[in-house]
Amino acid sequence: MDCIFCGIAKGDIPSKKVYEDDNVFAFYDISPQSPVHILIIPKAHIVSAAEITSENSSVVARIFEAAAKIARDAGLSEGFRIVSNCGDSAGQTVKHLHFHLLGGRDFTWPPG
Ligand code: AMP
Ligand code: ZN
14 preceded by a cis bond (ω within 30 of 0): no
Options 37, 45, 96, 98, the catalytic residue: 98
- Residue 93 Cα to ligand 2 midpoint, Å, equals 12
pLDDT of residue 112: 81
pLDDT of residue 1: 75
Report helix, strand or coil for 65.
helix
Under-50 pLDDT residues of the chain: none
Taking the CB of residue 68, how many other CB atoms lie within 10 A of it? 12
pTM of the model: 0.98
Let me know if 96 is a catalytic residue: no
CA–CA gap between residue 42 and residue 105 (Å, rounded): 26
Cα 21 from chain centre = 14
CB 60 within 8 A of CB 83: no
